[in-house]
Amino acid sequence: MPNLEARPQWTIHLPRRTHTDGARVRGRVRRRVLALAGCLGLLVGAWSSSAARAEPASRSGGGAATATVLRCAAPTVQKVALTFDDGPTRKHTTRMLAILKQHKVKATFFVLGGAARQGPELLKRIIEEGHLVATHSYSHPKKGSLEDWRKELRRTAEVIEKAGVKLSPYFRPPHGIITPQVKQAAGELGYSIILYTLLSSDWTRPGAAALTKQVVRTMAPGGIVVMHDGGGDRSQTVEALPEIIRGLRKKGLEPVRLDELLGPKPEVIESCARAAR
Ligand SMILES: [Zn+2]
């Protein structure tokens, strides 16, 4: 089974002091027992607290096994991220990919493991065309125990990696619901939790024009918008997509992938910029 633990892009933080350092210190102590006894005590104390801080190892860089929650990037960048949830689907994802290609836009797809299993070739196409594949769970549950969430994440990672596709360390919980169990499971497996500045109303099918207006008007620098390429009829989202891209660019906002928007060390921003509707 593909193993998330082996991901090279995540750093495991370990205490710096080595076994050799410890042996050197012990040798010195033997030579100058009385003079250095106090120093040794301090060194051992420092090593212990350093080790305690470093455990458990976390690949998200925070040192704690609970995931960081990100809603946007700093509003200093004239960029936004288009994200698509609940796919991939042959009917909608393929049409969206064609539009994104035509407009030279890169996006992020939060896929469901269950849907991805039906169409691994879609996962490959998403990656080959320069987009990101991230996880949105396996079966889109509303709630679950810690173990349930671990399984949801592991099963999805398995499907994605079986398709030979690189999985990004981003997780968007179904319905945007974050419980302590969701945070814990995501943190243990090295994911950052990604929310949004706008959950578009595409799922209510308001009409392509209304959807375009909502997204273009609301999005502000650093923002993340959720649209859907699965979970129902998404033809209005497909229809609106070219106008959404044009409208955002006209506002000076370039749509980019999440990794480009957030950068390698994402900053947690509590109050995300959002333009008036
Ligand atoms: Zn969803």
Q: How many residues does the chain have?
A: 277
Burial of 176 (0-12, 13-18, 19+ CB in 10 A): middle
pLDDT, tens digit (0-9, with 9 covering 90-100), for 206-219:
999 999 999 999 99
Closest CA to 133 of 166, 86, 162: 166
d(CA 13, CA 238): 43
Given a contact cutoff of 8 angstroms between Cβ atoms, the answer to whether 112 and 139 are in contact is yes
d(CA 203, CA 211): 10
pLDDT at residue number 276: 58
d(CA 56, CA 26): 27
What is the amino acid identity at position 270? E
With residues binned 3-state (H G I as helix, E B as strand, rest as coil), the percentages for the chain, rounded to 5, are 45, 10, 40
Residue 134's H or E segment, with its range, is strand 132-135
Active site residue 13: no
pLDDT at residue number 64: 52
Question: From the CA of 2, how far away is ligand 1's center (Å)?
Answer: 24
Question: From the CA of 21, how far away is ligand 1's center (Å)?
Answer: 51
- Per DSSP, the three-state class of 170 is strand
| pLDDT averaged over every residue in the chain | 82
Greatest pairwise CA separation for the chain in angstroms: 82
pLDDT at residue number 273: 78
**Residues bordering ligand 1, an ion, CB closer than 5 Å:** 85-86, 174
CA dihedral for 136, 140, 144, 147, sign (positive or negative): negative
pLDDT at residue number 270: 83
Question: From the CA of 55, how far away is ligand 1's center (Å)?
Answer: 33
pLDDT, tens digit (0-9, with 9 covering 90-100), for 120-135:
999 999 999 999 999 9
Given a contact cutoff of 8 angstroms between Cβ atoms, the answer to whether 229 and 88 are in contact is yes
Global model pTM greater than 0.85? no
Catalytic residue among 131, 136, 140, 228: 228
Question: From the CA of 276, how far away is ligand 1's center (Å)?
Answer: 25
Catalytic residue among 85, 86, 202, 229: 85
Active site residue 175: no
Q: Which residue numbers in the chain have pLDDT < 50? A: 1-63
